[in-house]
Amino acid sequence: MPDIIQLLPDHVANQIAAGEVVQRPASVVKELLENAIDAEASNIKLIIKEAGKILIQVIDNGKGMSITDARLSFERHATSKIKKAEDLFNLHTKGFRGEALASIAAIAHVDLKTKQENQELGTYIKIEGSNLIFQENVSTLKGTSVAVKNLFYNIPARRNFLKSNSIETRHIINEFQRVALAHPTISFSFYHNESEVYNLTSGNLRQRIVSIFGKKTNEKLVPINEVTDVLEINGFITKPEFAKKKRDEQFFFVNDRFIKNAYLNHAVSSAFESLLSNGYFPTYFLYLTVPTKSIDINIHPTKTEIKFDDEKTLYAILRSTVKHSLGQYNVAPILDFDRSASFDTPYNYKDKKSETPKITVNHDFNPFKNEEQKSIQFPYKREKSQQWESLYTGIDLHKIEVEAETIPNLLFSDDKPNSKTYQVHKKYIVSSIKSGIVYINQHLAHQRILYEEFLENITVKEALSQQLLFPLEISFNKSDIELIREIKDDLQSVGFLFDKILEDSIVVNGIPVTIIESQITIIIEQLLEDIKNDIPNASFSQLDVMAKSLAKSLAIKTGTKLDLREQEEIVNKLFICKQPDLSPFGKTTFVTIDIDEIDKKFNN
List, for residues 154-198, the tens digit of each pLDDT value. 888 888 888 888 788 888 998 999 999 999 999 999 999 988 889
User: Which domains are present in the chain?
Assistant: 10-200 (3.30.565.10), 205-328 (3.30.230.10), 422-590 (3.30.1370.100)
List, for residues 571-583, the tens digit of each pLDDT value. 888 888 888 888 8
List, for residues 56-90, the tens digit of each pLDDT value. 999 999 999 988 888 888 887 666 554 444 544 45
Share of the chain residues as helix, strand and coil, in percent rounded to the nearest 5: 35, 25, 40
Give pLDDT, residue 412: 35
Q: Which helix (H) or strand (E) holds 400?
A: none
Q: Which helix (H) or strand (E) holds 236?
A: strand 232-238
For the CA atoms of 484, 165, 34, 46, the dihedral, rounded to the nearest 10 degrees, stands at -80
List, for residues 5-41, the tens digit of each pLDDT value. 777 776 666 666 665 678 889 999 998 998 899 889 9
- Judged on CB neighbours under 10 Å (0-12, 13-18, 19+), 55 is middle
Please check the confidence at residue 530 and state whether its pLDDT lies above 50: yes
Taking the C-alpha atoms of residue 550 and residue 558, their distance in angstroms, rounded to an integer, is 17
List, for residues 220-249, the tens digit of each pLDDT value. 899 999 988 888 999 999 988 888 877 878
Give pLDDT, residue 17: 60
| Adjacency order of strands within the sheet including 428-433 | 421-424, 428-433, 436-441, 590-594
List, for residues 257-298, the tens digit of each pLDDT value. 888 888 888 899 888 887 887 778 888 999 998 887 777 665
Give pLDDT, residue 416: 43
Give pLDDT, residue 169: 87
Listed in sequence order, the residues at least 6 apart from 233 whose beta carbon sits closer than 8 Å to its beta carbon are: 224, 225, 226, 227, 286, 287, 288, 289, 317, 318, 321
Give pLDDT, residue 403: 42
How is 319-343 classified by DSSP, letter by letter? HHHHHHHHHHTTSS----TTS-GGG
Taking the C-alpha atoms of residue 223 and residue 199, their distance in angstroms, rounded to an integer, is 25
Listed in sequence order, the residues at least 6 apart from 311 whose beta carbon sits closer than 8 Å to its beta carbon are: 263, 264
**Cα-atom radius of gyration of the chain, to the nearest Å?**
34
Give pLDDT, residue 538: 42
Give pLDDT, residue 195: 86
Mean pLDDT of the region 540-544: 64
Q: Which has the higher per-residue pLDDT, 318 or 408?
A: 318
Taking the C-alpha atoms of residue 503 and residue 215, their distance in angstroms, rounded to an integer, is 10
CA 521 → CA 8, 457, 514, 515, distances in Å? 55, 21, 15, 11
Smallest CA-to-CA distance from 524 within 246, 172, 275, 279 is with 246
Smallest CA-to-CA distance from 440 within 450, 427, 453 is with 427
Residue 56 CA to its chain's centroid (Å): 27
